[in-house]
Amino acid sequence: MKKVGENKSAKGIWVFGDYRNYFQNRVTLQLIAKGKELAGKLGADLTVLVLGHQVHQYAMEYVAHGADVIMAVDHPALKSYQVETYSRVVADLVRAWGPQILLAGATAFGREFFPRLAKRLRTGLSADCVALDVDAQEGWLIQTTPSFGGELLADVITPQSRPQMATVHPGMFQERIHDAAAVGRIIYPDVKVEADERVQLVRSKPEQGHRGELEDAPVVVVGGWGMGSRENFQRLFDLAEYLGGEVGATRPVVTAGWAGEDRLLGQTGRSVKPRLLITVGTSGALQYTTGIHGAETIIAVNRDPNAPIFKISDLGLVGDGRSILALLLETLKKRL
């Protein structure tokens, strides 16, 4: 066995490989693509951390999508995610290897795991970034994140503490094409793994939702607080069905319980890239629009002609969303 220090090429950018479901794995692949680009600018390697038990296929998949190095910790105690165990293991690895940059998806998992890890490592963390770049001369990670309630996009740097840590909003980057001919290096560190005995996983149940369907839908209909009620919001499902699409929601709608968390779009939710997005009764707050900027065509409906949503829409309709929705449904019923 060798000791850390004999191998310095795992010091560049690390991405935490979260493979636990389709949605989170896609975010990991997006981060690998971006991390690879940034690592190229820094002249460093892109390393993907793979923790778990019997995780060979994910290590191979990450190599196919651009990872130069896999840092694999395969242990039965890592089969189920436990935040204390995971953060202890990753903190030990980071201290031993000293990567400059550490990235994870801003999923429910990343939002719990990375702040704890940052605290252990006594470094900063930029949460929910929507863009990343590097200053190759200084070695700084430029972390673009919504600030001041989403009114501004701020570029954040961490000049002193290492590693530079960020969670990145899903859907911000395009994943690379699977390359079956790719070959990388795989490192098996001799790290101490101790299960957190205070927590025991009794059982896990997959969430019944629309994970993957919303992201892949060609048409997405989104309702905001301006829909006025749960009943009005439900009519969006009729429209989505006519158009062969899915329904998304803004934060106030989810908070009110008109739609589930799995339909939330934006900074703290999901990102979509449909061919057509119809957004009804949404003001256009940055927290929401970060999740829809990949849409090819946006049609916005709002009563306020000065609503920010019209600045990013291709077609704007000024009027009451409920009335326009009713007219639209009536017309579609006659035609289809």
Partner 1 sequence: MRFRESLISAHHNYLINQMLTPGFILGQANGEDEFWLLADVLLPGEKAPCLSGRFYDGKGVFLLHMQGCEIIENPGNCILRASAEGFRLLCPSGEMLLSLDTEVFANGFLTRVQGKLYDKKGSLRMEPSFESAKVFGDNHRALYAPVRSQNKASDSHEIFPLDRGETPDL
Within 13 Å and on the Cβ side, how many CA atoms surround 198?
A: 4
- Dump the DSSP string for 43-103: T--EEEEEEESS-HHHHHHHHHTT-SEEEEEE-GGGSS--HHHHHHHHHHHHHHH--SEEE
- The answer to whether the CB of 273 falls within 8 A of the CB of 294 is yes
Which of the stretches 180-188, 206-214, 235-243, 327-335 binds partner 1 when contact is defined by CB under 8 A?
180-188
**For partner 1, what does the binding mask look like between residues 160 and 179, x meaning CB under 8 A?**
------------------xx
Q: Is 190 in the site for partner 1 (CB under 8 A)?
A: yes
Q: Which of 13, 59, 247, 265 binds partner 1 (CB under 8 A)?
A: 59
Q: Which of 119, 135, 188, 212 binds partner 1 (CB under 8 A)?
A: 188
Looking at the DSSP bridge assignments, the partners of residue 153 are: 146
Q: Which of 93, 102, 254, 285 binds partner 1 (CB under 8 A)?
A: 93
Nearest approach in angstroms of CB 92 to partner 1 is 7
Q: Which of 64, 134, 253, 280 binds partner 1 (CB under 8 A)?
A: 64
* Residue 9 or 323 with smaller CB distance to partner 1: 9
Taking alpha carbons only, the member of 5, 8, 19, 72 closest to residue 45 is 8
Taking alpha carbons only, the member of 189, 182, 209 closest to residue 97 is 189
Burial of 120 (0-12, 13-18, 19+ CB in 10 A): middle
Q: Is 182 in the site for partner 1 (CB under 8 A)?
A: yes
Q: Is 92 in the site for partner 1 (CB under 8 A)?
A: yes
* Residue 76 or 260 with smaller CB distance to partner 1: 76
Count of residues of this chain found to bind partner 1 when the rule CB under 8 A is applied: 32
| Token pair in block for residue 20 | 């636990």
- Cα–Cα dist 110/282, whole Å: 27
Q: Which of 184, 248, 291, 321 binds partner 1 (CB under 8 A)?
A: 184
- Tell which positions 202-221 bind partner 1, by CB under 8 A: none
Nearest approach in angstroms of CB 95 to partner 1 is 9
| Token pair in block for residue 242 | 């006519």
Q: Which of 122, 137, 148, 183 binds partner 1 (CB under 8 A)?
A: 183
Q: Is 200 in the site for partner 1 (CB under 8 A)?
A: no
- Tell which positions 17-56 bind partner 1, by CB under 8 A: 56
Q: Which of 43, 57, 148, 202 binds partner 1 (CB under 8 A)?
A: 57
Q: Is 181 in the site for partner 1 (CB under 8 A)?
A: yes
Q: Is 137 in the site for partner 1 (CB under 8 A)?
A: no
| Token pair in block for residue 8 | 């310095």
Cα separation values, 166 from 105, 130, 133, 278, Å? 8, 10, 12, 31
- Cα–Cα dist 76/73, whole Å: 10
Taking alpha carbons only, the member of 173, 100, 164 closest to residue 131 is 173
- Applying CB under 8 A, which residues contact partner 1? 1-4, 7, 56-57, 59-61, 63-64, 70, 74, 92-93, 96-97, 178-191
